[in-house]
Amino acid sequence: MGEPTSTLALDDSWQVAGRRFSSRLIIGTGKYKDYAQNAAAAEAAGAEIVTVALRRINLSDPTQPRLTDFIDPKRYTFLPNTAGCFTAEDALRTLRLAREAGGWSLVKLEVLSDQKTLYPDMIETLAATQVLVKEGFDVMVYCSDDPVFARRLEDAGACAIMPLGAPIGSGLGIQNPVNIRLIVEAARVPVLVDAGVGTASDAAVAMELGCDGVLMNTAIAEAKNPVRMARAMKYAVQAGRDAYLAGRMGKKRYADPSSPLAGLI
């Protein structure tokens, strides 16, 4: 007998920059039909952190619904992100404004290279990380799946490393599991796969590789039924995490019967 299931760690929480969370699934708040659907998806995902963007206030239509009317910043940790920034300077401006707007120092940095791939520009990303850390931000960093750059980011003071599984919004799944695993093994801060997840099994794969969490937006928002997919992702992340902790069986090249061979008639 192994551990009785009742003692299997229900408290499998994780920490980033001194903040503790029990959900390992972070979801975005873009691309949904409306904020109501977004709120329902966040609920179904069991998310505790949601990424948010900073944009010019809309003067022409002040009656437009506000994100905070649907997703309560007291219940969810808002993670301001620099989506759409293509230079370190733009990302810095955005996050300084975000800190002023919301008072939060935990932020997600991403500096993109080009519209076609939205691949992270790692030179700009590293430069921005260094400045933000100096200014007292806790910086979770979207990055390429290069283990060397991941280490450089950690050395620069990043509080979480968030390599892409595949290009943003592509839904291609984890393209380079070897690199993700190398990053996980070397990191002393949380590692989350950010971008590229398409369906539940992709999220499970990320967790089975030992990641501390997964961040996704499009996989849920563009599903035919986003709320149901949000729930699927919750279970996939939990299942993948449990499988990682349980330790998978070894792979064999040939069959190995499950029933005893002794006593065959």
Tokens of 74: 């007291």
- Identify the CA nearest to 189 among candidates 138, 135, 127, 244: 138
Residue 97 or 178: the one with the smaller Cβ distance to another protein is: 97
Cα separation, 178 vs 185, whole angstroms: 11
Give least dist CB 167 to another protein, A: 11
Q: Is 196 labelled a binding residue?
A: yes
How near is the Cβ of 189 to another protein at its closest, in Å? 19
Q: How near is the Cβ of 85 to another protein at its closest, in Å? A: 11
- What residue ranges bind another protein (CB under 8 A)? 28-32, 35, 38, 51-57, 59, 62, 66-68, 73, 78, 80-81, 83, 93, 96-98, 100-102, 108, 110, 142, 168, 194-195, 215, 217-218, 221
Q: Out of 108, 224, 234, 251, pick the active-site residue.
A: 108
CB 180 within 8 Å of CB 202:
no
Q: Which is nearer to another protein, 20 or 65 (CB)?
A: 65
Residue closer to another protein by CB (options 62, 263) is 62
Cα separation of 205 and 240, whole Å? Answer: 6
Owner of token pair 């490393």: 161
Tokens 């989506």, located at residue: 83
Q: Given phi > 0 = left and psi -120 to 50 = alpha, else beta, which region is 263? A: left
Q: Is 108 a catalytic residue?
A: yes
Q: With respect to another protein, which residue has the nearer C-beta, 61 or 256? A: 61
Residues 6+ apart with CB under 8 A from 178: none
Asked whether 207 and 244 are in contact (CB, 8 A), the reply is: yes
Q: How far is the CB of 56 from another protein (least distance, A)?
A: 4
* Residues annotated in a binding site for 1-deoxy-D-xylulose 5-phosphate: 169, 195-196, 217-218
Binding residues: 169, 195-196, 217-218
The residues carrying an active-site annotation are 108
